[in-house]
């Protein structure tokens, strides 16, 4: 198989509800959509779901665009391949930029499964016909506003709620949520906002009493020691997210017992091949996993649903319906959750039609490898920041 054409589209979608984490807030999301076309005219779609600003990680939508145009496109065009893993080998010498790589890898997996006439979930080895979904709620202006958001999502059928926490917005929101909704599946996500020390340990030991499903990424991404030491003091499982970029990171987590649950983000881990490897290793080690999100548009969201069909995704994943975040998505039909579950598509590839006409019309910037004079530096409309779910 050989890719004959690569197109990139810089797309922004406004959020229905402003979203705030421990580091930033946003009212819209910017991602790069990847289209790969092979010599037979078959098309595969991927999504570079990098954040707009360097708060979740050092990679941003701007650095991803630059990496894609300058270093990934020509490698993809020059490489003959039979399986997506073969194509991913073409950029093995490129260090970092996992989000950019993940967008191209996702498009390759979509293209591959379409040519095989099977669903992406089947190509990955998925076994589920539907996946359980949870929702991620940001920091709100008040406790009352947060409780209203929780109630709204529970009424929509979601059984798991994740609360973003940060210093000064942690114990009281959790206490109030648990008091108002004593039986829900509740967990918290700090996005590495806390510093190791007695004060943080005391806080998390207080949270330990609220029967949380997990405490996600309390400390810095590289601080495995702090996570391991904290886990020794808690009954609540620690879940690592930002810490796990490579399989070697996961091996470190397992060896040091720095966490008992793994959040697998396709983008953070550089694509579906490595994400599947992480799933397999975690399963062999008895560590349950779930699929985290980056406020993906429909392409990335459908990719996450397919990945979540693998057997060790035993906890609800961040694959809630598109309608929770966007008035309009870029795929049809959009990803929908019914009673907190999302159906896994059985159609070839992603199983959704990409609205190419709308993307072409609304994209803030485009790149087309078929245009010989394309420099990939078209003027972009200034927009607000985007980020992480």
All residues at 6 or more sequence positions from 236 whose CB lies less than 8 Å from its CB, including other chains: 204, 207, 208, 212, 213, 214, 215
Per-residue tokens: 367 = 């790149």
Buried b (16+ CB within 10 A) or exposed e, 77-90: eebebeebbebbeb
- Active-site residue (options: 26, 162, 164, 324): 164
Residue 265 is a catalytic residue: yes
Residue 134 neighbours by CB under 8 Å, 6+ apart: 158, 159, 160, 161, 162, 185, 290, 316, 317, 318, 320, 340
Question: How many separate helices (H) and strands (E) can be counted in the chain?
Answer: 13, 15
* Closest to 11 measured CA to CA, from 368, 295, 363: 363
Between the two ends of the chain, the Cα-to-Cα distance in Å is: 35
Are the beta carbons of 81 and 104 closer than 8 angstroms? no
Q: Is 164 a known active-site residue?
A: yes
Exactly one of 26, 101, 265, 324 is catalytic; which is it? 265
C-alpha to C-alpha distance for 160 and 134, rounded to whole angstroms: 5
Distances (CA, A) of 211 to 187, 188, 205: 9, 11, 11
Catalytic center residues? 164, 265
């Amino acid at each position: 198989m050989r890719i004959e054409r690569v197109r990139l589209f810089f797309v922004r979608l406004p959020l229905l509800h402003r979203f705030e984490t421990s580091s930033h807030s946003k009212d819209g999301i910017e991602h790069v959509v990847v289209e790969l076309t092979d010599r037979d005219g078959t098309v595969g779609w991927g999504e570079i779901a990098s954040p707009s600003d360097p708060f979740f990680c050092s990679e941003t939508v701007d650095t991803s665009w630059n990496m894609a145009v300058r270093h990934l496109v020509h490698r993809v065009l020059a490489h003959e391949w039979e399986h997506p893993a073969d194509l991913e080998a073409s950029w093995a010498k490129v260090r970092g930029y996992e989000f950019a790589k993940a967008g191209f890898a996702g498009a390759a997996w979509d293209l591959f499964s379409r040519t095989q006439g099977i669903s992406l979930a089947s190509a990955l080895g998925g076994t589920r016909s539907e996946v359980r979904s949870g929702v991620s709620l940001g920091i709100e202006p008040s406790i009352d506003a947060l409780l209203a958001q929780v109630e709204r999502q529970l009424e929509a059928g979601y059984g798991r709620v994740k609360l973003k926490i940060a210093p000064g917005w942690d114990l009281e929101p959790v206490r109030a949520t648990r008091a108002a909704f004593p039986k829900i599946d509740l967990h918290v996500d700090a996005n590495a906002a806390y510093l190791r020390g007695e004060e943080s340990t005391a806080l998390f030991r207080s949270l330990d009493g609220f029967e949380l499903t997990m405490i996600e990424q309390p400390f810095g991404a590289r601080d495995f020691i702090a996570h391991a030491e904290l886990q020794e003091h808690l009954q609540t499982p620690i879940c690592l997210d930002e810490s796990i970029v490579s399989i070697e990171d996961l091996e470190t987590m397992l060896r040091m017992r720095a966490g008992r649950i793994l959040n697998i983000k396709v983008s953070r881990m550089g694509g579906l091949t490595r994400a599947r490897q992480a799933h397999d290793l975690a399963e062999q080690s008895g560590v349950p996993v779930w699929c985290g999100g980056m406020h993906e548009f429909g392409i990335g969201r459908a990719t996450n649903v397919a990945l979540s069909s693998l057997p060790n995704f035993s906890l609800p994943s961040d694959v809630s319906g598109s309608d929770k975040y966007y008035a309009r998505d870029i795929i049809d039909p959009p990803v929908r959750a019914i009673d907190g579950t999302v159906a896994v598509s059985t159609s070839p590839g992603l199983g959704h039609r990409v609205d190419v006409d709308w993307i072409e019309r609304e994209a803030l910037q485009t790149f087309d490898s078929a245009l010989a004079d394309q420099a990939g530096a078209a003027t972009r409309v200034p927009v607000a920041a985007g980020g992480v779910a």
